Chains A and B, each alone.
Chain A
Amino acid sequence: MHVQMQIAELRPVLLRIARMQLRESAWAEDVVSETLVAALEGAASFEGRSQVKTWAVGILKNKILDHFRRSRREFSVDAQADSQLNDSLDELYDDTGHKANEPLDWGDPEAVLSQAQFVEILQQCVDKLPRSQARIFMMREWLELETGDICEELNITSSNCFVMLHRARLRLRECVEINWFQTGTCDA
């Protein structure tokens, strides 16, 4: 298949990832369109050292970072509002500070993480997070930004950043456990 056709077929997967990161469909559409244009323009120079998908996702990451910089003020306001959310996580713990529900052994992560259904559930769980928690989590874990850079981009303190990442991870592990490991979906 021609590289151009492979690029065009990536639109749904790029859109899904962009929505997870940006949490706004219109912004996701914009950055994916910019990514596809850039990829098509660069297709002639694509040297095949990586898969087309990996290469296009790399372009998408840069387009998303550009978008964060252009819309810094909007993201900052959202982040400051979400950091004030009264999300105490208290229901996850008993009175002694121990888990109210014991965590399960997820087994061999390598066997689980590569399953398409797991990715679907992970996406649904990220979608359930407060908007800025999801964005910060994705900035840290998918864009692989350092927390100092995230704080600067969003104009929040490092302690707010740590708190939001912690809440996001706890909420995600709870959601994934309930929807994947406790529903019989997992066969790992």
Chain B
Amino acid sequence: MPDLINRIDCKRAHELLSKHMDAPLSPAEYALLKAHLAICDLCVLVERQFRALRSAVRRLGA
């Protein structure tokens, strides 16, 4: 999918990462996000950070 890889930048990838935590992405959005994450280690870190924030908040009061 080389033509897909450059279609989104990190800013758009972060929007999709966040949306993916709240709702299913469309097949096209999912493909774009996966293609971007495959070549962008920094966005993989951001995905982990979003999930770490979720875990931290869910532990409040636990």
Contacts and interface: CB of A to CB of B under 8 A. Distances in A.
A55 to B, nearest CB: 10
Interface in B31-62: 42, 45-46, 48-62
Interface in A104-138: 104-106, 109, 112-114, 118-119, 122, 137-138
Contacts of B19: 162, 166
Q: How extensive is the interface on chain A, given as a class?
A: 35 or more
A54 B57 contact: no
Chain B's interface size range is 20 to 34
B45 A103 contact: yes
Interface string A64-102: 000000000000000000000000010001001111001
Contact of B45 (A13, A96, A105, A172): A105
Given A102-B42, A173-B50, 20 more contacts: A13-B61, A53-B61, A93-B9, A93-B10, A97-B10, A97-B12, A99-B10, A119-B60, A122-B53, A122-B57, A144-B58, A147-B23, A162-B18, A162-B23, A165-B18, A166-B18, A166-B19, A169-B21, A173-B53, A177-B49
